[in-house]
């Protein structure tokens, strides 16, 4: 092994490990991806009293003028595709990213106000249904 290869080996190992940290919406050890999509997913406004497990963290972004109801429906649809029983929105904020995806052109465009709404939440499955 050359000196250059020896000096780069630790960096290659570190970069390889960091690659495993890429964004993944599924909670490790969960059942996400194994369950069939559901017909109905409940949109919760508080944490359920029944035991549950979070199977995925969901992030939904909208255009600057999109309604909260539209974002929540998108969150519910994503949870449904994962086979969740319910979705638990946790946090609502506005991102000052200033870009939004234009579905007609497929390109990113600057938002009028430079602020887009973002909702974070969890797709959950009740413990008895795991």
Q: Check which CATH number belongs to the domain holding 28 and give it.
A: 3.30.110.70
List beta partners, residue 26. 56
Residue 6 lies in a domain: no
If DSSP states are collapsed to H, E and C, what string results for the chain? CCHHHHHHHHHHHHHHHHHCCCCCCECCCCCCCCCCCCCCCEECCCCCCCCEEEEEEEEEECCCCCCHHHHHHHHHHHHHHCCCCEEEEEEEEEECCCEEECCCCCCEEECCCCCEEEEEEEEEEEHHHC
Whether 83 contacts 32, CB under 8 Å: yes
Residue 14 lies in a domain: no
Give me the pLDDT at residue 65, please: 75
Give me the pLDDT at residue 42, please: 93
Give the domain extent around 29. Answer: 24-129
Structure tokens at 19: 């690659």
Residue 7 lies in a domain: no
Give me the pLDDT at residue 20, please: 38
Give me the pLDDT at residue 22, please: 35
Residue 17 lies in a domain: no
Tally the domains of the chain. Answer: 1
Residue 18 lies in a domain: no
Mean pLDDT per 10-residue interval, the chain, length 130 residues: 56 46 40 70 93 94 83 95 95 68 74 73 84
Kindly list the strands in the beta sheet with 52-61, ordered across the sheet, starting from the edge strand earlier in the chain: 42-43, 86-95, 116-126, 52-61
């Amino acid at each position: 092994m050359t000196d250059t290869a020896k000096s780069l080996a630790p960096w290659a190992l570190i970069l390889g490990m960091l690659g495993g940290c890429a964004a993944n919406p599924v909670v490790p050890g969960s059942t996400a991806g194994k369950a069939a999509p559901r017909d109905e997913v409940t949109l919760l406004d508080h944490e359920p009293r029944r035991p549950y497990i979070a199977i995925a963290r969901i992030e939904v972004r909208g255009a600057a003028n999109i309604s909260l109801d539209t974002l929540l429906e998108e969150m519910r649809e994503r949870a449904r595709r994962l086979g969740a029983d319910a979705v638990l929105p946790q946090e609502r904020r506005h991102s000052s990213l200033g870009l939004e995806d234009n579905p007609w052109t497929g390109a990113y465009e600057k938002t009028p106000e430079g602020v887009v709404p973002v909702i974070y939440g969890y797709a959950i499955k009740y413990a008895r249904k795991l």
